[in-house]
Amino acid sequence: MRISSILAQRQTFSFEIFPPRGDLPIEQAMTIAGQMAEQHPDWISVTFSAGGSGNSAATGAIAAQIQREAHTNALAHLTCLGSTRTDVDSFVSELETNGVENVLALRGDRAPGREALDFAHANELIAHLKNMAPNLCVGAACYPEGHVEAPSLAADIEQIKAKQDSGADFLVTQLFFDNELFYRFREACVRARIKIPIVVGIMPFTSTKQIQRMAFTCGASIPAAVIKRLIAAGDDAGSQARAGIEYACEQLRDLAANGVDGLHIYSMNKPSVARATHDALVECGYLGRI
């Protein structure tokens, strides 16, 4: 089913997985996806790695199997730096053959050897996808704190508007740890006449090291409330991970109470994270009991 059709009916709940590295990526990913599907998400997204840290060739295959074997809607990520129109067209036609109706259209991070070929920015990819496959549901990324390369949040929001104008059907946010920043961003989007649904992406932090890395790679600010919890957790890896799940569940309950279009969990291939976030959202009434 097209994600835009689901978003038109209800607030959504979804997970992200990434193709594992190694020799058996599809089997591993399918075990994880099967366990996540037990929480009845509206969709499971599959990341695309053009940078060597993962297996981009597996994205389409895993998305197809999620659709076919886990009986769950799949959202295949697709980055366009370093890709030609022909690369994109063959990726999409394989998805269409396998019944995958949803793509998250991304530029990808800049890296040496990954120059713009036929596409410089996500909005160009979105326009191309809408032209070549009008029935495809196309999502795009957005950044409540502004993309790391953007000169200002206002300038970045103009580019989000360009993604909407190019045909994007919905947006998924970058992770953030301070909900107030998201609420301000949402108001700014309304002022900028961005009308497509904004699905909120939340990632439970797993350790002090991991959250520091996230802050540097995606520019997410770390509020004092998170720092205090990590100090209280001390050096114990289990306590740090538990603090991350608890904090994410509090964020999700607050977002649920504030009328978001959808909640997407960066579940880091961990079915335990999928279960914990699902249970928190059942408890607060965002999700019905099944």
User: Cβ distance 220 to 177 under 8 Å?
Assistant: yes
Question: For 235, which DSSP code?
Answer: T
Told to check if 141 binds ligand FAD by CB under 6 A, we report: yes
Report if residue 172 touches ligand FAD, rule: CB under 6 A.
yes
Element (DSSP H or E) covering residue 262? strand 262-266
Residue of 263, 267, 269, 266 whose CA lies nearest to 282:
263
* Consecutive H or E run containing 168: none
- Using the rule CB under 6 A, which residue among 42, 101, 145, 156 binds ligand FAD? 156
Environment class of 151 (CB within 10 Å of its CB; exposed 0-12, middle 13-18, buried 19+): exposed
Binding pattern for the stretch 187-206 against ligand FAD, x by CB under 6 A and - elsewhere: --------------x-----
Q: Min. distance of Cβ 223 from ligand FAD in angstroms?
A: 19
Sort strands 102-106 and 73-79 into parallel, antiparallel or unpaired: parallel
User: Is the CB of 122 or the CB of 133 nearer to ligand FAD?
Assistant: 122
What's CA 81's distance to the chain center, in Å?
18
**Min CB(119)–ligand FAD separation in Å:** 9
Active site residue 94: no
176 forms part of the interface with ligand FAD (CB under 6 A): no
CB of 139 to ligand FAD, least distance (A): 8
Residue 242's CB is within 10 A of a number of other CB atoms, namely 16
For 135, the token pair is: 């029935």
- Rule CB under 6 A: say whether 123 interacts with ligand FAD: yes
Applying CB under 6 A, does 109 fall inside the site for ligand FAD? yes
126 binds ligand FAD (CB under 6 A): no
As measured in angstroms, the least distance from the Cβ of 80 to ligand FAD is 8
Does 267 help bind ligand FAD (rule: CB under 6 A)? no
Strand 12-17 to 262-266 pairing:
parallel
First-to-last CA distance in the chain? 20
* Closest C-alpha to 9, from 68, 70, 73, 60: 73
Q: Which stretch binds ligand FAD (CB under 6 A): 45-53, 206-214, 234-242, 249-257?
A: 45-53
Q: Which stretch binds ligand FAD (CB under 6 A): 24-32, 43-51, 234-242, 250-258?
A: 43-51
Residue 159 engages ligand FAD in binding (rule: CB under 6 A):
yes
CB of 48 to ligand FAD, least distance (A): 4
Residues 53-82 that bind ligand FAD (CB under 6 A): 77, 79
Q: Mask: binding to ligand FAD, 211-230, rule CB under 6 A, as x and -?
A: --------------------
CA 167 to each of CA 39, 126, 198: distance values in angstroms, whole numbers, following the listed order = 31, 6, 14
Identity of residue 279: D
Neighbours of 190 (CB within 10 A): 10
Residues in contact with ligand FAD by the rule CB under 6 A: 47-50, 77, 79, 104, 106-109, 121-123, 141, 147, 149-150, 156, 159, 162, 172, 174, 201
Which of the residues are catalytic?
16
